[in-house]
Structure 1
Amino acid sequence: MAEEEQSGAPEVDPQFEPVHKLTEQVVVSTGEEGDIVLFKMRAKLFRFDKPASEWKERGTGEVKILSPQAGGKIRLVMRRDKTLKVCANHIVSSDMNLAPNIGSDRSWVWNVSADVSDGEPTQETLAIRFANSDNAGLFKAAFEDARDKNSSTTTAAPAAAEESEPTPAAAAEEEEEKKEEEAVVEAKEEPVAAAAAADEPKAEEEETAVAPAAAVEELKTEEKVADEGVETKATEDSLVPEAAAEEKKAE
């Protein structure tokens, strides 16, 4: 009877209208929009729990190696499936080396000094496992390439900074060298100036001594010219009577 009553009862399909309708679509930013994906593959990630001395699973999802378009360090990011929660996020630094996991050719282990997947940087020992050894080899090649690029960028940056902006110590040292050079130049110029000052009275004395001698010579020359003029006039006067006598004889 109960089954008949239930079968004869009309079916009810309840529908509930939403109280507030969402008209705007919310865009969630992951922080990866401006990055170039250098590597992407599905894998499973583990972390080593030191207090418990055992490996614990962090999640399964896609591991990515990302390079910022605006320039910067290449990093490794991994999110869990469905929830997309970050389970690994760190820069691939020059001190990171992949070591094969014991008894597996598709798993790698490495140490991270600052993983920020939980917000605060923490030191972790991570292990990742792929579906096969080929995928593990591809990950190793991409990981080491990112490490080498970051290492070359780190080496070039301080050199450029040293060329563009001198350090305070270098600036102080350069200033000290300039002061020493100026002191050396002043020390060299002082004896020269003193010698020049000492030579000035001597030059004046020599000029004073030379002046009277030149005056005496000039006076002698003038007297000699005057004497020659007197002699010439006397000779001309003596020749006048003789010329007159000769003119009379001719007449």
Structure 2
Amino acid sequence: MRACDAPPSTADALRLTLEVWHPDCWVLQTTRQAAVGLLSYGVFTRTDGCATTLFTLYGDTTSALDDGVSAIRSASAVFDVASMTRDHRGRGQTHGRLQAGNATRELLVDHDGTTQISEAFTDRGFVPAEAVDARDDTEHWTLLTQHDRETVERLLDEVRAGWDATIAVTSITRGIRASERPPLPLDRLSSRQREVFRYARANGYYEHPRETDVSAIATALGLSSSTVHEHLRKAEAALLGTRFD
């Protein structure tokens, strides 16, 4: 095997979490028009610029999902939408009533790939580490790269300028080998649980020693400490595959 063929180690990679907004994005437009979020799991882009992406559409109720699908279908950049599965109801279901974020629908969407910002990151050596979570008119990205911090800032400035994008870096940490940390099934969580868990994780709540505490998280998110604690307990139970009563 030639040296250039060897897969790069991610032991010393930088792990970035970003909040991204860019104009004319049909995914973000969908989150503005309907009370839903979308998790995207990779884009296949053809030479003609058309792309196919697998999404998990999530919301509080199945009617919210219907609104989300209607918004997607009406987007000028979307060519076709196929539903992959029937609606799913998560662990939080109680007496037939869906809790927030527990209604999901898998969609395979054919669309204009030139309206999506993903290739602006991958062309510059950034590798998605998790599904992109679009909600409340913001895309939440987790990326790995072997660039140094100075190069990262320069490349992100290029993306900002080229896409007229707003990109906020919420954390930069040293990565670990992918085999040591499997991706978390964040689609098991409600939208509020996901927000609290992601913020806690990005700000060192799960580091040893802890770099933040429940009180600081509550202040940052405008919640009570008891509410943050409850969201984290339920998120941890869902991610560990434990039924929470």
TM-score range, shorter chain: under 0.3
Structure with max Cα Rg = 1
TM-score, normalising length from structure 2? 0.18
Q: Per residue, is there more helix in 1 or in 2?
A: 1
Tell me: higher relative CO, structure 1 or 2? Use CA pairs within 8 A at least 6 residues apart. Answer: 2
TM-score, normalising length from structure 1? 0.18
